[in-house]
Amino acid sequence: MYIFYAMLFGLYLYRKNLGSYISKTILKIIGYKFEEIDINTLPSKIVMIGSHTSIYDFLIGLLYYYAVLHKRYNTYILMKKQFEIFCTPILSFIDNKFNLISIDKTLQKTGITTKICTTLKNKDDYLLFIAPEGTRKCTETLRSGYWYIAQNLDIDIIYFGIDFSAKTIILEKSRKTKDTWEEEQMEFINSCQKYVPLYPERCYWMQNYY
């Protein structure tokens, strides 16, 4: 529910044509630093990945999206089918760059990735954010969905890093996925280890942080 309210706030800013300015201002007020980038140098289609240990990852990511990326990219959100009927009219009215991909709870993981690929196959200028952990709790099992999607659609991935200790936001360079899931997992973890999450104890790769 907090995520939904956060989206409404961000979308309200966009509707008032104040999204970029206010989002940048909020990030600066709460102390987060990030580099200005030329979004036209980024790929037209992106699977964005990052670690996810708290709701604040989403909130800061939403502010960054409006501050930097919104002007160019549509964004796709995965949402449970039972919530779609309530959210679709609101999102469509406030911000036509937000799109829902409804997920039926009966779908298996392969069915979800297939649906995402089918939805995005002929689209352009979009980003899809996925947290491979699939939970805010500690887990040693990373989900390979983003890897399959990026390979199937032949699009780049970008790691989105938030360091809660240094209060920095980094958009790493775009890259192609590794050839195997084992290699890709290591690449993801290598990126994760560069940034201190809000709850390091929820990340098994941060065990040496303490």
Predicted confidence (pLDDT) per residue in 73-103, tens digit: 998 877 666 666 666 666 666 677 877 777 7
Torsions phi, psi for 100 (to 5 deg): -100, 140
| Lowest pLDDT segment from 8-17, 160-169, 200-209 | 8-17
- Over residues 64-73, the mean pLDDT reads 91
CA angle 25, 54, 15 (to 5 degrees): 40
Which of the four pLDDT bands, split at 50, 70 and 90, describes residue 27?
very high
Task: Considering only residues 89 and 38, tell me which one the structure prediction assigns the higher pLDDT.
Answer: 38
User: In the chain, what percentage of residues exceed pLDDT 90?
Assistant: 52
pLDDT of residue 96: 76
C-alpha 158 chain-centroid distance? 10
Residue showing tokens 């959210």? 87
Is pLDDT at 125 greater than 80 in this prediction? yes
Q: Is the distance from CB of 145 to CB of 113 less than 8 angstroms? A: yes
Q: Is the pLDDT of residue 13 over 60?
A: no
pLDDT at residue number 21:
83
Residue 125 in contact with residue 44, Cβ under 8 Å? yes
Extended strands (E) in the chain: 33-34, 45-49, 74-80, 98-103, 126-130, 156-163, 168-171
Average pLDDT over residues 20-26: 87
Instruction: Name the pLDDT band for 147 (thresholds 50, 70, 90).
Output: very high
Give the per-residue pLDDT at 151.
96
> 183: pLDDT confidence band, cut at 50, 70 and 90?
very high
Q: Which of the pair, 98 or 133, is modelled with greater confidence?
A: 133
Q: Domain map of the chain by residue range? A: 2-36+43-72+122-205
Parallel, antiparallel or unpaired: strands 156-163 and 45-49 = parallel
Rounded Cα distance, 156 and 175, in Å: 5
Confidence of residue 155 (pLDDT cuts 50, 70, 90): very high
Give the pLDDT band of residue 167 (cuts 50, 70, 90). very high
Residue 18 has pLDDT above 70, yes or no: no
Q: What is the mean pLDDT of residues 28-54?
A: 94
Residues 6+ apart with CB under 8 A from 21: none
Between the alpha carbon of residue 81 and those of residues 102, 130, 148, 203, the distances in Å are: 5, 18, 22, 29
